[in-house]
Structure 1
């Protein structure tokens, strides 16, 4: 395995894989040696404006070779990378730059125009722009009048040092930064390599953003084994299928809305994907009707259902050989982790019981940037586990899961999403699964609405599939659901439902708008 820190993950490929293609873009590809060389250019520019070890650098670039170049240029000199999704606005970009106390911002030409007439946070020493090549804002665009050192000195960051800050949008408030050490990132890569059996011959299609922990992990695993990454910036199912075929992709990770679209496409227009040997899901549960079609859609492909937290990378995975028997389960702990299901005030949940998932071990992050109170609330010793792991801190996921007789875990709901109606506690996921069985909807979000008599009642937001009508859907629900679970209202969403930056359904926005239209 390669890498004593994030930068070494790339640089240690120089001897064995110098001429091998590391990354593929629509416009070009780049070898490991070329990637190292281009990262040095960014490192030199950052050094020239006084950026050094421990300083934060915001990266706001389209999914591309240049985005990776920027990240590893900053990592070379020991700076901390704060990668911001390309679709985030100027306001969000400035918020992250200020909150992180960043010394530099790396952006594309269009984002630089958005910053041109804005007051930058006081810690920002310069803006590095990419427009066919990198240059400092305010200098000539070919960089000819910009002094920079001939070579940037590499900083040998320690494993426990801060490497990255991943900003995540919660249901309330501004994005919060999750702090990842070099050790977190390296062990995260080793973990996924082990259970997916990744090797240097693998070529992963990268759809998920690098500002999302699962997307970042695709890159770091390939760097660690000396494999290749194919960037797929256009998230259209037909284009994804073409890329898999054109680049002979061996592995592909997606989120539920994307798998929904891809499976529906391939059911209508089957395509040979002979190179593909594994696919993975993260970021939520795939609708049950899509899960039932996946083995037929991908007959020779290993299907991994996974669960993870930004605060702890991966937590669990379901063995592919269990996929057909346990559609939708999230499985057992990944290597290098300790995952437990606790019943608050009682102890561990047993077979058939539910509780909150907590995660301990070396994958647990350093906490939240400049939010010690939130860190102490979310990452702390667990009283129910004192006799098991002592005072080792755990991440409290806020997710309710069920333990089956084999010890495999099943996602039930976010603890704060449970619908309380007629004395029952309903999982939105359970409602959504039963609705999906109708075949009448593409995407579905179930949520509770306050009711004077019942506490809450179930409402749905859906996008239409062929043959949809609200009456037909409610008829289906009455056949497959107990009375207290049957939705009282269906909001039909026009067009596609909004997604978060990581591609998951934006439940907060969807529910807020559906409630207005209910």
Structure 2
């Protein structure tokens, strides 16, 4: 694996290495070459520079995956401003919070979306413009050449989904974004012939990086807003996609869909983050997409991504999240700050140049999460203390244990929800499961689970679990749903599920 240019550059340069006549973007309207993409970026940046904004002002976008939504992540930083992408699935109250918290001076959106906002939702000094105002293909009137920004300057603020309270903005520099693109393009071995189907929100670091890493490699991106699994299947066939990224709930849906053999065989690369792949999912993906390499990854917005698992290892180690990605140092750290021994659980701490600059205008939460790396760290500096518990085996691979605030403490035992969930879905009675601890006078906490599936499968599930889990890991409450709640990024909304399970049973 080689990285031709590991030195950080302004993020708007990320597509400039590609051949100008290669295809950069594919949608239902046709395609753009890299030369056309550059003209669009230059024109949009030039137009933004005429809007009376000061350097460093925040420009928000609230859009589906239109061409403008793909251009703005490059055009806004090129113009000297900070991009704030807003998830198009969010509703007005969440959008209003992000606009106010970021101090946005400009919102680029659509009239239908702007019409849902109420008086007071948009800050007084924030102008609202429709995406049609952006020059689409460039021209003589507006044009801005590649920026010469300091790579350490702030380029974007990505807001978390808000499943555990109000969204908080993670501050990302040009260097954060650039090195993330270089790293992912390298270990995924993306090449110009690849066509990447972009189904994830562009406000999600995983989705935005698909643009940057693909364009860094000279590959094409086909952004897609979809309603059902069949839409994804059709898009894979329509664009000849070689690469598809998803989160576990999406894989569950896709495996339930109908895939013509020739379409499934065209996928060469599947990447997963936002939740662990279960053994059942790995086997299902392997059977459905026999030509695809499956990349399991772990990430957090505060450091973009921490680990990846070589696809050659996933069958033998489906429970592993892998090793540190290029440019990252990942450690398992004991509560006293020393290195955890092989196989010993410790907090995942991430150091290196992918670490974000903190939370926007939130020094208190920044101080809690962004702290000096352990004294024995190789890269040192500020690290992200993730709050996640991992163990690094003698084989060098990290394995996820659970979030400290999600660990279930029952009868003196610390129980990983992920371990319970994996055993539950292994048998097929439920397609998805979330386990949480609920108050119990005798145990301290008892295990409750919410499951996707039919309650008629509960007797056989209970019988199987009695043989596969020790007594202290047996769930005491089961709640069945046709579908489990999800947040705006498509991840399981664990906070909402936990709140529902902690309500008294009906």
Pair in the same fold by TM > 0.5: yes
User: Deviation of residue 492 (structure 1)?
Assistant: 0.9
Distance 1:182 1:398 in 2: 26
Moved more, 54-63 or 273-282: 273-282
Q: Which has the higher contact order (CA 8 A, sep 6+)?
A: 2
Would you say 1:6 and 2:11 are equivalent positions?
yes
2:437 is paired with a residue whose SS is: strand
- Structure 2: give runs of 5+ residues left out of the alignment: none
Cα distance per residue 1:244-294 (max 9 Å; x no partner): 22211111111011112222336x975642332111110111233222332
1:351 is paired with a residue whose SS is: coil
2:427 is paired with a residue whose SS is: coil
Within 5 A, what are the aligned runs for 1:402-417? Answer: 402-417=391-406
Would you say 1:188 and 2:188 are equivalent positions?
no
What TM-score do the two structures reach when normalised by structure 2? 0.92
Within 5 A, what are the aligned runs for 1:365-376? Answer: 365-376=356-367
Verify the 8 A CA contact 2:264 2:288 in the aligned structure 1: no
Figure out how many residues of one structure are paired with residues of the other and give that number: 497
Question: What is the match of residue 233 of structure 1?
Answer: 225
Question: What is the match of residue 38 of structure 1?
Answer: 40
Would you say 1:199 and 2:191 are equivalent positions?
yes
Would you say 1:487 and 2:475 are equivalent positions?
yes
Question: What is the match of residue 128 of structure 1?
Answer: 129
Would you say 1:435 and 2:437 are equivalent positions?
no
Q: Which of the residues 484, 490, 500 maps onto 1:497?
A: 484
Verify the 8 A CA contact 2:47 2:142 in the aligned structure 1: no
User: Deviation of residue 121 (structure 1)?
Assistant: 0.9
User: Deviation of residue 444 (structure 1)?
Assistant: 0.7
Would you say 1:306 and 2:308 are equivalent positions?
no
Within 5 A, what are the aligned runs for 1:313-462? Answer: 313-345=304-336, 347-382=338-373, 385-389=374-378, 392-462=381-451
What TM-score do the two structures reach when normalised by structure 1? 0.90
1:330 is paired with a residue whose SS is: strand
Verify the 8 A CA contact 1:339 1:360 in the aligned structure 2: yes
- Structure 1: give runs of 5+ residues left out of the alignment: 137-141, 143-147
Distance 2:220 2:104 in 1: 30
Question: What is the match of residue 20 of structure 2?
Answer: 18
User: Deviation of residue 38 (structure 1)?
Assistant: 3.0
Distance 2:280 2:200 in 1: 23
Distance 1:297 1:507 in 2: 28
User: Deviation of residue 515 (structure 1)?
Assistant: 2.9
Cα distance per residue 1:299-336 (max 9 Å; x no partner): 22111100011111111111111111001210111111
Question: What is the match of residue 72 of structure 2?
Answer: 70
Question: What is the match of residue 145 of structure 1?
Answer: none
User: Deviation of residue 135 (structure 1)?
Assistant: 6.5
Distance 2:328 2:143 in 1: 39
User: Deviation of residue 41 (structure 1)?
Assistant: 4.1
Question: What is the match of residue 466 of structure 2?
Answer: 478
Distance 1:503 1:36 in 2: 31
Distance 1:436 1:90 in 2: 36
Within 5 A, what are the aligned runs for 1:247-258? Answer: 247-258=239-250
Moved more, 164-173 or 196-205: 164-173
Would you say 1:511 and 2:498 are equivalent positions?
yes
User: Deviation of residue 34 (structure 1)?
Assistant: 2.5
Distance 1:231 1:436 in 2: 31
User: Deviation of residue 372 (structure 1)?
Assistant: 1.8
Within 5 A, what are the aligned runs for 1:44-123? Answer: 44-115=46-117, 117-118=119-120, 120-123=122-125
Distance 1:41 1:110 in 2: 25
Distance 1:19 1:390 in 2: 40
Verify the 8 A CA contact 1:499 1:506 in the aligned structure 2: yes
